[in-house]
Homo-oligomer: A and B are copies of this chain.
Amino acid sequence: MIGRLNHVGVATPSIDDSIKLYRDILGATRIHEPFNLPEQGVRVCFVDVANSQIELIEPLGDDSPIHGFLKKNPAGGQHHVCFEVDDIIAARDEMRAKGATILGTGEPRIGAHGTPIIFVHPRDMGGVLIELMETPEDMHA
């Protein structure tokens, strides 16, 4: 079912500082403009690597789900892994049928790449928060 590893989500207290790290220390050459996703309580910035992306995630607003993560990991850290799927509803229903718990209502939301996403509870995924994202049309190989 899972397709490409679309991105690794990395929480950070400061996207600006993380951009310096990925650009100046690790030498990433393509870093997109950061933007806000207010309905998800996050500000995000994609860093391209040759075959995938790092998604830098900063809390946005008092209710951001990232505050709790940063309380436990003040310097930031790996937050989630996102795999592409062809059909988000089919993927959700298949995951549920196999006993996995979808976070929230289970209704897909529109993610940072403009396509529907869901998150699967880490307790069913070996402690890893997994995002499933419908493959963006313009990212088809």
Which residue numbers of A lie inside 8 Å of B, CB to CB? 1-5, 8, 10-12, 17-18, 21, 24-28, 49-52, 54, 73-78, 81, 83-84, 94-95, 98-100, 122-128, 130
Contacts and interface: CB of A to CB of B under 8 A. Distances in A.
A103 to B, nearest CB: 15
A27 B2 contact: yes
A100 B25 CA distance: 8
Number of copies of this protein chain within its complex: 2
Given A2-B28, A52-B51, A81 B126 contact: no
Given A2-B26, A49-B83, A98-B25, A76 B10 contact: no
A49 B81 CA distance: 12
B4 A51 contact: yes
A49 B4 contact: yes
Among A1, A12, A52, chain B packs the most CB atoms within 10 A around the CB of A52
Residue from A81, A122, A128 having most chain B Cβ neighbours under 10 A: A128
